[in-house]
Amino acid sequence: MPEAALATGLAFVLGLLIGSFLNVCIYRWPRDLSVVAPRSHCPTCEKPIAWYDNIPVLSYVMLGGRGRCCGKRISFRYPLVELLTAGFFAWIVWQLGLTLGAAKFCVLVAMLIALMFTDLEELILPDEFTLGGWLVGLAFSPFVLVPDITAHAVLSVFGIQFSDRWMSVAESLCGALLPAGTLWLGGWLFEKFRHKEGLGLGDVKMMAMVGAFLGVRGALLTLITGSLAGSLIGIVYIKATKQDMGSYQLPFGTFLAAAAIFAAMAGPKVIEWYSALL
């Protein structure tokens, strides 16, 4: 197993670097800033950050969680995002090896980690990840087959048969349209009858991205677990911090993104278990 261990180690290091880039996206995209230029600045005092103070996780530990420039606290989100990304990349490559399938899940999880934190911090789900991610998921679908049967079931009613690759593209499209469309309809009805906004369009676009990667069943699993976790934890949080139930804005996208990571990692097992119950 030395090759597998080496590949896993490489995936971990790559995950640290990608996580570091995600931190830049999490800060800049909700503010409509470029992620290419200028170079990294301290978000507090705006002084440029030297490369040796910008090494994933390590610099945070060496600096004791404070900026060298102004001594202000560096958000714990920086090392957290780097470690989360590295941990998931290592886990995925350990499970799937250096394959295109592993690449697909690493790309998906990286975008979901970023979305978790942009929604938590800014209540924004940037189009770069949601709409961009939807296209990436669709682009992967002919090469890494989407594990679903919805398009297959619908098309076979009309006696239509595609090759595996094209069927996978059809599953990806169904996965992008059906659960996101249901969520959009639910939000629209809520707004019609309760006369207040129930959920943002960002959540709908993110669900389209998740469905393009995971298919209809994976996206439904995401919706169900994300909504359950969101409402449970949301209510506990509102009660515990004595927030106003009517005006508090739950970062629903954060819960959906976490649920999508769960669906990507454990989804096939959960779906198998649930199908066996029926």
Residue closest to 199 by CA, chosen among 246, 155, 249 = 249
- According to the binding rule CB under 5 A, does residue 4 interact with Zn ion? no
Rounded distance, CA 52 to CA 231, Å? 42
Residues 6+ apart with CB under 8 A from 254: 115, 116, 117, 119, 120
| Residue nearest Zn ion, CB atom distance | 42
CB of 33 to Zn ion, least distance (A): 17
Which x/- pattern, by CB under 5 A, does the window 67-96 give for Zn ion? x-xx--------------------------
Q: In whole angstroms, what is the distance from residue 209 CA to residue 34 CA?
A: 22
Q: Of the candidates 88, 121, 116, which has an alpha carbon nearest to the alpha carbon of residue 230?
A: 116
Among the listed residues 134, 109, 111, the one whose alpha carbon sits nearest the alpha carbon of residue 209: 134
Q: Which residues of 35-48 are buried (b: 16+ CB within 10 A; e: fewer)?
A: eeeeeeebeeeeee
- Does 45 engage in binding with Zn ion (CB under 5 A)? yes
**Residue 46 C-beta: closest distance to Zn ion, Å:** 7
Q: Is 231 in the site for Zn ion (CB under 5 A)?
A: no
Nearest distance from C-beta of residue 50 to Zn ion, angstroms = 12
Rounded to a whole number of angstroms, the minimum distance from the CB of residue 48 to Zn ion is: 10
d(CA 103, CA 106): 5
Residue number, 67 or 132, with CB nearest to Zn ion: 67
Q: Binding mask 155-184 vs Zn ion (x if CB under 5 A, - otherwise)?
A: ------------------------------
Query: Shortest Cβ distance from residue 70 to Zn ion (Å)?
Result: 3
Contacting Zn ion (CB under 5 A), which of 5, 35, 44, 143? 44
Residues at the contact surface with Zn ion, assessed by CB under 5 A: 42, 44-45, 67, 69-70
